[in-house]
Amino acid sequence: MSTAAEPSAGPAEPLAGFAVGVTAARRHEELATLLERRGARVVLAPAIRLAPLADDAELLEATRACAAGPLDHVVVTTGIGFRAWLESADGQGTRDALVARLAEAAIVARGPKARGAIRSAGLRERWSPDSEELSEVTGHLLRQDLAGARVAVQLYGERQPELTAALRGAGAEVIEVPVYRWSRTEDPTPLRRLVGQAVAGTVDAITFTSAPAVAETLAVAAEDGLEEPLLDALRAHVVAACVGPVTARALTGRGVPTVQPERARLGVLVRALVTGLPARRSRRLSVRGCALELRGHAVVLDGLLRPIAPAPMAILRALARRPGHVVSRAELCGVLPSRLAPAGEARPQADEHAVEMAVARLRRGLGRPGIVETVVKRGYRLACDPRLADRVPAGAGG
């Protein structure tokens, strides 16, 4: 027999009851910890990994070229890439010469992380865009006289032909500095599982900290025939939390609303999610004088968290869409999650007995009688006045 989960001992954390996917390759443990501290259930599914260059001869040659003569402009695209570049130069014995050349140049930092790495090295950027858009960097440089100028561009995982071709077209000598590259994670199984959970509605948000992670997530979904269902889920009921506009571009371009922090920092991203996720994925009702808040896979009843299984939660959501009104058993049959049928076969329809079992489990999970009422021969309803359903009692928790 299923037993009701015990409620939390104190007020629910802001992300308690929500499941959040983490696709980050780097610092995923830090991001997961920040989310868990706010109550989220974290689903780890790295989308990409940082791969060392198969042959660092190109990096060695680029570093020597930078150190060999004056540099007019230097574009630093990522903090981790700039630090790795200096570490590589240190190993080659050319760090001091490289830093001296960088100090003479007009350094452009693409974003705050790049600025931090530059300043940690004792250098100072000359300019940085308001956004992290590389197009802004390109526009800024093209407003300079680049005829005969030497420009070093630290790459971040892939070539940037839009930038480098534009600079060469303006007459600059461009030195591309490849520090690392992105590649697919060695085991994409967790990412495939996360995509499936998003489509099924059992995860409430997915965090993205790089544009390649977004691209790889969509690619994995496409391989399984789920790219459009995933995008539909992100448009409707799964929150896409992106660390900045560059990361979000591939999603916003396809009509997906995103949550973005004011600054590209993990802590600020989590704070943005604390605000944005409940706004998109929670519903607050007043039922029998109690404050009832529906979250992703749990409810908060008068401030106490009560986890609810998927089938009972589906019933509760259906009832909450029409609070105080009767919802028939036949209609509730259609909202219950069902197992996927074999390919080519129709999905099995839940029967009224399954609805009755789910309602019984819901009542046990809520742990308080009278919230879900049976209306004989008609169905079920939330025990509240439809006109007062959204008026949460003053002083109530949640």
Helix (H) or strand (E) holding 125, with range, is: none
pLDDT tens digits for range 343-371: 344 444 567 889 999 999 999 999 888 99
Helix (H) or strand (E) holding 354, with range, is: helix 352-366
pLDDT at 398 over 90: no
> How high does pLDDT run on average in the chain?
87
- What pLDDT shows up at residue 26? 77
pLDDT tens digits for range 166-184: 999 999 999 999 987 778 8
Residue 79 token pair: 């903090």
Share of the chain above pLDDT 70, in %: 89
Residue 43 token pair: 């689903």
Sign of CA dihedral 249, 254, 255, 259: negative
Domains of the chain: 19-49+185-281 (3.40.50.10090), 53-179 (3.40.50.10090), 283-388 (1.10.10.10)
- Residue 41, beta-bridge partner list: 19
pLDDT tens digits for range 375-395: 998 999 999 866 655 544 433
Neighbours of 183 (CB within 10 A): 15
- Which band of pLDDT confidence, cut at 50, 70 and 90, is reported for residue 52? low
Q: How far apart are CA 8 and CA 57, in angstroms?
A: 57
pLDDT tens digits for range 106-147: 999 998 889 999 999 999 999 999 877 888 999 999 999 999
- What pLDDT shows up at residue 191? 97
- Residue that wins the pLDDT comparison between 249 and 1: 249
Please state whether the predicted TM-score (pTM) of the whole model is above 0.95: no
Q: Which of 210, 208, 209 is nearest to 234 (CA)?
A: 208
